[in-house]
Copies of this chain bind each other. A is one copy, B any other.
């Protein structure tokens, strides 16, 4: 194998940031927008959401160049009330649409206690936790849901792919513990993990992927064309459906049978998201609440592990530790992927990404 999973190089955070910005500027984004997208992509790479960071750069660049994403859009609030807004992203980079939506939600929640902002005309926005965590700095809880553009999941009992991996992220502020942050897809496995299994020559467990006859697929090479199964059977299907209704249909985006196939890179995906910000001070003294959240986090961390498990972890703890480690030691990228970035850099006329 040319590229075993462990063949990685490390890259400094500042250097990856520089490279992402320059690449996006070369693809037509204004400088400030490029910086903001770079920051959101770095967020994913720092917190270990490796499938949603720099690894997406080549496809973003292709879509920007083919016209599938608008580099110079007119983003606007289509509808607005005290505690709600609907953002039309005008097919801007999803990271920018969502950053804007999250800021609107936070401002509105500051005044009214809670706010819900939906987006349409949006695009892939990277790691879900990135937006759910934005309200934390203002002592708010964040909740984010997104409609994935590609449908790889069937309704429970069916075999027609009508739903995406539609993720949810929820972030809760703490005092001294790392924040409690859940960021999950509603499918039992992601294509990233399927590819990892293929690379490692491992079979997949039963019940994660099925073929179009409803039979379980355990060969990762065949899983690429299979249907992803939801978490908890009909429960995960129901969650995915609800997130597509709240994050998509409500906002006027294309979903289900009407979803846009974004394999054509010139076609806007019209995807959607939703973010809610909930102001802690409307329910409790902020420090009291954070202390109680700390205790919840600590009670989990210090709870009795299963035989063979070193430590019980709460959602967000591992991502926090990964970020600390990667800020110190750099972000690991596969050698083969890093080489492909060199080619991209040459095409865009920018300096290559230099390893540590």
Query: Residues on A close to B: CB < 8 A?
Result: 79, 81-84, 86, 111-116, 118, 141, 154-160, 162, 168, 170, 172, 180, 182, 184, 188, 213-214, 231-239, 241-242, 244-246, 249-252, 255-257, 276, 278-280, 282-284, 289, 292-293, 295-296, 299-300, 303-309, 311-315
Contact = CB atoms under 8 A, between A and B. Distances in A.
Given A172-B245, A241-B182, A249-B289, A159 B114 contact: no
B231 A235 contact: yes
A283 B157 contact: no
Number of identical protomers: 2
Contacts of A299: 162, 256-257
A250 B21 CA distance: 39
A243 B283 CA distance: 15
Contacts of A81: 112-113, 282
A84 to B, nearest CB: 3
B283 A214 contact: no
Given A251-B283, A292-B249, A182 B83 contact: no
A251 B297 CA distance: 17
A246 B172 CA distance: 9
Given A182-B242, A184-B238, A300 B158 contact: yes
